[in-house]
Structure 1
Amino acid sequence: MGLSLGSFALVAVAVVLASALQASIGFGMGMLAAPVVALVDPALLPGTLVMLAFVVTIMVVVSERQHIDLGGTGWALFGRVPGTIAGALLVAALPERGLALMLAAVVLTGVALNSLGWQPRPV
């Protein structure tokens, strides 16, 4: 059984907006699309968004290749690979409802911290 037309439209709008955010500021797929997708159909996570984020990233790399900082990219990948593995294991271990609640809690925590004026300092 697939998504209803309304659910598909909601996911499509979230993914388009998240992709635009991802392409312009470097994040957005997990922040905007993941909570919407998790509420509509948790079975689509994480594979669908990982594949879409990969496509958006490749498109940005191709269009902005002259501005890539290879040294900084290496450090970013050094932290991203273990984090991605840990996240995938967590997603595999959580039931669908637990995943939806955890994603909602993470987003709401981020909103609350931002509202309180907290900003992480670069190292």
Structure 2
Amino acid sequence: MAVFLGAVVQGSVGFGLGLIAAPVLTLLDPGIMPGAIQVVNMTLPLFTLAAEWRRVDWRGLGFAVLGRLPGSAVGAVIVVYLSVQTLSVFVGVMVLAAVGLTARALSVPRNGATVTAAGFVSGVTGTATGIGGPPIALVYQTAKGPQIRATLAMFFFLSAAQSLGILALVDHLPGRALTTGAVLVVPMVIGFLVSGPLRRHLDQGKLRVAILAVASVSATVLIAQTLLT
């Protein structure tokens, strides 16, 4: 159910699967995380790209991936040696602060520096916690709906593949995580199909508000999950 709902949100807004599904999977079986959610994170973007791949911002994507590479390495170190709980609280607070600031302004400047920085933060949080969408989404919040979804989809596909590779290298990708992720592809596909009508609704000038709302929920979930576990 969590993966289904997350796929509905991400299929509509461009991100959100991790923020809904990752906390639930972590509470049910920490041993399969973050590998299981990364399997789903790598599969869902393919459906978005099948419909909207022509709208990818390739220049911005290049900067985001450039930042994502070192960010993923830092995230892997955190998984192995440091406290993911501490990181989750920090990331949650920073995302809420970013939402508060951007809600008062017209937009976050979208340039090479900001997209690279967002890619780095996304790499750290995505690899360590399975939730890497908010930093990139906040930078792209004023773009048109198809461009946001297509660019984020390509970024998430590459990011999830990279994270799975790094988790395997540091021996934090058990076979059970891959099997669970494969099973969860089924509710993910159903959720994406349900998201179609919402995409058309949000594309009528309401996507920025939805992105800020989903990012806020993401941060709150991260903080609450950490404090309650």
Q: TM-score, normalised by structure 1?
A: 0.66
Distance in structure 2 (CA, Å) of the matches to 1:73 and 1:33: 25
Q: Report the alpha carbon displacement of residue 88 of structure 1 after superposing the two structures with TM.
A: 2.8
Give the letter for the 1:109 counterpart. Answer: V
Q: Report the alpha carbon displacement of residue 33 of structure 1 after superposing the two structures with TM.
A: 1.5
Distance in structure 2 (CA, Å) of the matches to 1:17 and 1:69: 27
Question: Which residue of 1, 6, 20 corresponds with 1:18?
Answer: 6
Q: CA RMSD in A?
A: 2.7
Q: Tell me the equivalent position of 2:42.
A: 54
Q: Report the alpha carbon displacement of residue 58 of structure 1 after superposing the two structures with TM.
A: 1.8
Distance change (3 Å), C-alpha of 1:69 and 1:108 = closer
Distance change (3 Å), C-alpha of 1:29 and 1:102 = farther
Distance change (3 Å), C-alpha of 1:89 and 1:112 = same
Give per-residue Cα distances to partners, 1:47-75, cap 9 Å, x unaligned: 11111000011221222112112112111
Distance in structure 2 (CA, Å) of the matches to 1:71 and 1:113: 27
Distance in structure 2 (CA, Å) of the matches to 1:107 and 1:14: 22
> Number of paired residues?
106
Q: Tell me the equivalent position of 1:5.
A: none
Task: Kindly report which structure 2 residues correspond to 1:31-70, keeping only aligned pairs within 5 A, or say none.
Answer: 31-70=19-58
Q: Tell me the equivalent position of 1:109.
A: 93
Q: Tell me the equivalent position of 2:59.
A: 71
Distance change (3 Å), C-alpha of 1:109 and 1:72 = same
> Does the 8 Å contact 1:19/1:53 carry over to 2?
no
Distance in structure 1 (CA, Å) of the matches to 2:87 and 2:3: 16
Using the TM superposition, name which of 24-33 and 61-70 deviates more: 24-33
The structure showing larger relative contact order (alpha-carbon pairs under 8 Å, at least 6 residues apart) is 2
5+ residue gaps, structure 1: 1-12
Distance in structure 2 (CA, Å) of the matches to 1:27 and 1:71: 20
Distance change (3 Å), C-alpha of 1:81 and 1:104 = closer
5+ residue gaps, structure 2: 111-229
* Percent identity between the two aligned chains: 34
Give the 3-state SS of the residue equivalent to 1:59 in structure 2.
Answer: helix
Using the TM superposition, name which of 52-61 and 104-113 deviates more: 104-113
